[in-house]
Amino acid sequence: MSPPFPLRWGRPEAERAHVNNLEKALKAGPNYPKECVGASDALFPVPDAVRNAGPWCVRRLVRVVGNGEDDYDAAKNAVESFKNFRVRWPFGFGGAFAAAGLRRNGRGTVRPPPAKPGNTYCVMAGLAGIWSIGPLRVLYKKEGPVQAGSSAAETMTPPRGWRPGKDRRRFKKNGKRFAVGSGCLSGHLLCGEERFEVTYDGDTGDVRYEVASFSRPAGPLGAAVYPVAWLLQGAFAHASCRAVEDAVRIEAAAAT
């Protein structure tokens, strides 16, 4: 079966568009090398599997979204429930929608699926009346301590008295991380993966939200629209950070 066509004129009707695209995408499978599947979990430094299958555009955005374990839990819940996709760009709209067991809420929109490995969803993005539908699959959901030398540890402030050099590899931060990674399926304009990660710095209490990805055009059509797709991808990362900040702030206000 041929992959779904990713572009159309006018905003797609959510349920029909997502079901049709995902049914085709699931049968076609991922649209990038299998040795790179799941590589976004440890993207910095770039793993050999990704580098050898390059070239890729590797991007990363990190922002402090709160402080304390309560804010960590709120940010984590936002990522688990796809609240980080509740964004409105200055030049379009983006959102994540369910693939299976579609349900409508009171406003008539399709609810996102839980962020669980194997679940699939689509992202819609519109610009000047032209809309893209990108099917993706959740590849992993992980939570645990921050490991020494990991990309999460690199964003944290070293404790007092810590010296760089040989001790760097032994440095282990008193923190934790939660990460969800998704991979593009056939029918997406781009190929590659994106990771959404929340980290808690046990020394400073800072809660950080990170959007990291490796991607490239999935074919001739993707290459033709890549300059616009690149802008949309960057705009989404910033808007997603704001969405998580809003979710944390709302959760904190509700707790007071």
pLDDT in tens, 196-253: 999 999 888 999 999 999 999 998 988 998 888 888 888 889 989 999 999 999 988 8
Please provide residue 28's backbone torsions phi and psi, each rounded to the nearest 5 degrees. Answer: -80, -30
Structure tokens that stand for 188 in this block: 């997406």
Closest CA to 156 of 165, 140, 142, 145: 145
What is the CATH number that goes with domain 31-91+136-255? 3.30.530
Distance (Å, whole) CA 104 – CA 248: 25
Q: Residue 215's beta-bridge partner residues?
A: 57, 192
Do the beta carbons of residue 78 and residue 86 sit within 8 Å? no
pLDDT in tens, 75-121: 999 999 888 887 765 444 444 433 332 333 333 345 566 788 888 87
Distance linking the first and last C-alpha atoms of the chain: 53
Assign 43 to helix, strand or coil: coil
pTM above 0.75, yes or no: yes
pLDDT in tens, 10-32: 665 554 555 555 566 666 678 99
Distance (Å, whole) CA 40 – CA 214: 7
Assign 245 to helix, strand or coil: helix
Distance (Å, whole) CA 105 – CA 81: 15
Q: In this structure, what DSSP letter does residue 219 have?
A: S
pLDDT above 80: residue 40: yes
Do the beta carbons of residue 62 and residue 161 sit within 8 Å? no
Angle between helices 69-80 and 226-255 (to 10 degrees): 130
pLDDT above 80: residue 186: yes
Average pLDDT, rounded, for the chain: 76
pLDDT above 50: residue 164: no
Window from 45-59, 74-88, 97-111, 165-179 with minimum mean pLDDT? 97-111
Q: 64-68, 111-115, 161-165: which has the highest mean pLDDT?
A: 64-68
Do the beta carbons of residue 153 and residue 147 sit within 8 Å? yes
pLDDT above 70: residue 156: no
pLDDT given for residue 180 in this prediction: 95
